[in-house]
Amino acid sequence: MTTADTNAPSLSGPASSGKPAKPSKPGWDYSPAPETVKVDIASTYGLFIDGKFQTPRNAERFATINPATEETLSEVTQASDADVDRAVKAAHAVLPKWAGLPAIERAKYIFRIARRIQERGRELAVLETLDSGKPIKESRDVDIPLVAAHFFYHAGWADKLEYATKGRRDGATKGKKALPEVAPGVRPVGVCGQVIPWNFPLLMAAWKIAPALACGNTVVLKPAETTPLTALRLAEIFEEIGLPPGVVNIITGDGRTGKALVEHPLVDKVAFTGSTEVGKRIAKATAAPRPDGKFKRLTLELGGKSPHIIFEDAAIDQAVEGIINGIYFNQGEVCCAGSRLFVQESIVEEVTKKLEIRLASLRVGDPMDKNTDVGAVNSKEQLSRIEHYLKLGEQEGATLRRANASTLPKKGYWCRPCFFTGVQPSHTIAREEIFGPVLSVLTFRTPEEAISRANNTAYGLAAGIWTEKGSKMLSIAKQIKSGVVWCNTYNKFDPTSPFGGFKESGFGREGGVQGLKAYLDG
């Protein structure tokens, strides 16, 4: 276990400096409340190709572990180039049949998936928490309900695509090998190679698979190597509901598998969510035309360094709540995490104090405990990356405020939520994505300065604005360069609302009518 020790703050008086007081022994605390549902996990998993789990001979395997205990949960298969080829070919073979189904039939399959996810919701939530380290409270109340919602929403689109594509007429894909139309003049894109991250394993799978299926595409999906279990469980659901073989294939593996998938000539569209670094490599790899002269379609949803702007006329207590939720939700391992907080100078002391108080009340620890607010960091590698930034932030002159003193389990990867004050725009911790429970607090004096500082970043994924003045809120929102701007709230996700970035946060949108575009030709 690696953690720096911290002191507990108490609700201390206004003049208290950075020196935290010793905690009093709490007289009333919550007893452990472990989630008791047990899920069966096989000792090994094969690859889900062409409608069934297959175990390639002499397959290389790797362990997936529970980051809260460091115990091995299962061993999964490293898909080789040949395996990727089989999966893509299976997806390619079934494409005309799947795209040619009456739209209402495609919708029925997707509805069935959504319902089955709801029915098995508890099991999926537990599995997600075991594999990813996120608190059960979040997987149960956020991740899994949103997964189901995405399938429900897109099931509804399957037979209404003409309303999403009004005025769009395809020409390019007409010809002998053209796929059937899924709306007047509009066809599926084809085989979609999708590579997803470890922060919201099943939710990202849903974001990718649901619109692809609704639009008549077929899919080869690669979950992240540290969190493959819920995607494999989703494959079981596909089997259960009788999804035609090959329509969705799920293959596990590390970056090599992802590379083979992205570069496969029969893949028509690549969708990637993950780091900007890998995103750039994928953009390069897909920049060259395929042997048939066509280009691969590409959407990227990458990193972020999203700003929160809090004005002195904000509802401060609620804003602090939103800031806490914005950065410490899912241990800060969120691409749209509000990791840069811009506070109007006149209220910086008050906001800092209230952040400290609120931070102290967060419960960090066993993700399976229903009262846990912040769980385990996803992997050892990620934890060391976060710790690197914590060190760097202090070296560069910012002040680290560790206001949380939760007792941590002996094993596992843990980082207590914390924040930096005295951060300058030039500091690394204000520029690079940390992807952990670390907030950088900066200041501004005027709205114009707030906007220019907020936009002074390579990223442009999300932003939060906190003010009770409506006219100011709307005017600032228009001037922030990011895909999402939340006003007086944060981290609100809904399948009907498009999500995506500007600049190095990627391109393309997921969710809403806009999200369908990437999966339709024409």
Any idea which residues carry the catalytic annotation?
Answer: 301, 335
Among 72, 318, 346, 496, binds another protein (CB under 8 A): 318
CA distance 85 to 261: 8
Q: Cβ of residue 142: shortest distance to another protein, in angstroms?
A: 12
CA distance 124 to 144: 7
Asked if 288 interacts with another protein (CB under 8 A), we say no
Which of 10/479 has CB closer to another protein? Answer: 10
Which of 28/176 has CB closer to another protein? Answer: 28
Interaction mask 476-505, another protein, x per CB under 8 A: ------------xx----------------
Q: Cβ of residue 126: shortest distance to another protein, in angstroms?
A: 15
All residues at 6 or more sequence positions from 432 whose CB lies less than 8 Å from its CB, including other chains: 305, 389
Beta partners for residue 439, in sequence order: 419
Among 3, 16, 428, 479, binds another protein (CB under 8 A): 16
CA distance 354 to 348: 10
Q: Cβ of residue 114: shortest distance to another protein, in angstroms?
A: 24
Q: Is-contact 435 200, C-beta < 8 A?
A: no
Q: Please identify, among the stretches 23-31, 91-99, 107-115, 326-334, the one whose residues bind another protein according to the rule CB under 8 A.
A: 23-31
Query: For residue 408, how many other CB atoms are within 10 A of its CB?
Result: 19
The SS3 of residue 2 is: coil
Which of 133/135 has CB closer to another protein? Answer: 135
Q: Cβ of residue 33: shortest distance to another protein, in angstroms?
A: 4
Which of 194/344 has CB closer to another protein? Answer: 344
Q: Please identify, among the stretches 12-20, 37-45, 190-198, 446-454, the one whose residues bind another protein according to the rule CB under 8 A.
A: 12-20
Asked if 428 interacts with another protein (CB under 8 A), we say no
Q: Please identify, among the stretches 28-36, 154-162, 287-295, 334-342, the one whose residues bind another protein according to the rule CB under 8 A.
A: 28-36
Asked if 2 interacts with another protein (CB under 8 A), we say no
Among 30, 265, 277, 294, binds another protein (CB under 8 A): 30
Tokens 């002159």 belong to 397
Asked if 474 interacts with another protein (CB under 8 A), we say no
All residues at 6 or more sequence positions from 182 whose CB lies less than 8 Å from its CB, including other chains: 99, 103, 161, 188, 215, 216, 520
- Tell which residue, 294, 258, 276, 252, has the closest CA to residue 54: 252
Asked if 37 interacts with another protein (CB under 8 A), we say no
CA distance 213 to 520: 11
In our burial notation (b when 16+ CB lie closer than 10 A, e otherwise), range 198-234 reads bbbbbbbbbbbbbbbbbbbbbbbbbbbbbbbbbbbbb
Q: Is-contact 340 442, C-beta < 8 A?
A: yes
Tokens 């990202």 belong to 204
Beta partners for residue 469, in sequence order: none
Q: Cβ of residue 61: shortest distance to another protein, in angstroms?
A: 37
Asked if 28 interacts with another protein (CB under 8 A), we say yes
Give DSSP secondary structure letters for 313-380: TS-HHHHHHHHHHHHHGGGG--TT---EEEEEGGGHHHHHHHHHHHHHT--BS-TTBTT-SB---S-H
Among 86, 106, 134, 137, binds another protein (CB under 8 A): 137
CA distance 88 to 431: 38
Asked if 321 interacts with another protein (CB under 8 A), we say yes
Asked if 471 interacts with another protein (CB under 8 A), we say no
Asked if 43 interacts with another protein (CB under 8 A), we say no
Asked if 407 interacts with another protein (CB under 8 A), we say no
Q: Please identify, among the stretches 170-178, 202-210, 312-320, 500-508, the one whose residues bind another protein according to the rule CB under 8 A.
A: 312-320
Q: Which residues bind another protein (CB under 8 A)?
A: 8-16, 21-24, 26-31, 33, 137, 141, 313-319, 321-322, 353, 357, 360-361, 370-371, 468, 488-489
